[in-house]
Amino acid sequence: MEIESETSDNMNVIVKDNTDKDDKRIHSSNNKNKNYLSVRQVLAPLSISMRICGMFHNGHEKKTINKIGELEMELFEKPKGCWKVNISQIYSTFVVFILWLNVIRMLFIFRDVASNSLDLIIKFTAIIWNVICTIQCTTVYVMCTRQRNNIWNFYNQLQSLDPETFRELLKLVRRKCVISAIITWILFLLSFFFNVYITWFTDKFDYTTVPISAKSQYVNIMKGLNTVLQFYLNAAWLFPQAFRNMMCTIIYHLFKCLNERFAKMRVTVDISSNIIIRFRKDHRVICKLLDTADQIFHVMTGCSIALYVVILCLMFYQILWNTDIADNHVLVGMYIFWVAGGLVMLGFISLGGAIVHQEVSAY
């Protein structure tokens, strides 16, 4: 009886030890999962902002759990042949549709003969700016909708990286993303204020009410609709470029971190074949991230660079020759803000690609 009691006690101790080990392993796995899933949330401040403004949506992606060892990785994919939609997708589809209708509407500004060359340049500037905003909004919509090279592929590829290695790096990028979202919202509010001002409080930009004449009794209704359109246009002007720049920042930091790890390891230890294989694997994943980002934004980037150069030239011409704005400090501030915004936007577009290319070449 004593032997059986002792054996039973030993079995209980073994079971308890195994249970404690299992609990520790599960707790460790949960911590890994928490760190790993936070990778997908790096761009959340900007993606949520774009969702509010009707650009970013979940589409009809399918969420799956892929278990790799003790690590459960959350993946997203778009089921083939699925036509299900959700509210966010309907909302973003509606926004893209009305923005393209607005581009068609803006063509009616040439219905009346321009009184002078300056008036014609102002109208061309307005059309080009509307086209830029609409293309950028459409790009975000497409990256959430299409089957391949979408934002979900980018998230999945990002999550295939080692979470322990890039955890601190991703925290840094997350802080930058939060700051970027705050700055973008401030710029959005300023730009929206200027557009509302020229719609309601000046008569120098009568194109805002087309196709209705500025003397029509329904002009206030058209101004109200134009104000709503300006909300989405200003959001489409700023947030997609901020989102693209953050994706470039992530890729830049990943390449930089990989280069620094490789340089440090080459000095401190002998490089084995396993180390080379691991670095090649990480490099291949980051290159896939770069290719996905390029496939998403290459059309928007090319169009933006070409159109921003044109629109900046037209804006400088207006500042030099438009004497009507000299007495209105708000309009002077508006022109300075838009020219500075265009220059900064063009600079960030070029800089985003340059810094990534620098780190890619350094590997």
Could you read off the pLDDT of 200-218 as tens digits, one per residue?
Answer: 888 777 777 778 876 778 8
Q: How many domains does the chain have?
A: 2
Whether residues 164 and 295 fall in one domain: yes
* Tokens read off for 300: 């928007």
For residue 269, the model assigns a pLDDT of 62
Whether residues 31 and 20 fall in one domain: yes
Whether residues 34 and 91 fall in one domain: no
Amino acid found at 105:
R
Whether residues 197 and 277 fall in one domain: yes
Whether residues 15 and 159 fall in one domain: no
Q: State percent of the chain over pLDDT 70.
A: 74
Confidence of residue 81 (pLDDT cuts 50, 70, 90): very low
Q: State mean pLDDT over 220-240.
A: 93
Using only the alpha carbons of the chain, give its radius of gyration. Answer: 27
* Alpha-carbon gap, residue 157 to 323, rounded angstroms: 53
Residue 161 has pLDDT above 50, yes or no: yes
Among candidate residues 141, 35, 126, the one with its CA nearest the CA of residue 95: 141
Confidence of residue 279 (pLDDT cuts 50, 70, 90): confident
Whether residues 110 and 184 fall in one domain: yes
Whether residues 194 and 266 fall in one domain: yes
Whether residues 147 and 212 fall in one domain: yes
* Alpha-carbon gap, residue 326 to 15, rounded angstroms: 84
Q: How many Cα atoms within 13 Å fall on the side-chain side of residue 160?
A: 18
Query: 348-357 pLDDT, tens per residue?
Result: 888 877 777 7
Whether residues 53 and 151 fall in one domain: yes
Among candidate residues 67, 261, 45, the one with its CA nearest the CA of residue 159: 67
Q: Please, where are the H alpha helices in the chain?
A: 2-38, 44-52, 87-106, 117-145, 151-159, 163-200, 219-268, 273-321, 329-362
Where does residue 212 fall: left (phi above 0), alpha (psi -120 to 50 degrees), or beta otherwise? beta
Residue whose entry in the numeric block shows the structure tokens 């609990």? 23
Provide the domain limits for residue 12. Answer: 1-41
Give backbone dihedrals phi and psi of 70, rounded to 5 degrees, phi first.
-90, 0
Confidence of residue 4 (pLDDT cuts 50, 70, 90): very low
Whether residues 5 and 113 fall in one domain: no
Whether residues 2 and 85 fall in one domain: no
Whether residues 22 and 102 fall in one domain: no
How far from 300 is each of 129, 139, 159, 237, 295, CA to CA, in Å?
13, 7, 25, 11, 10
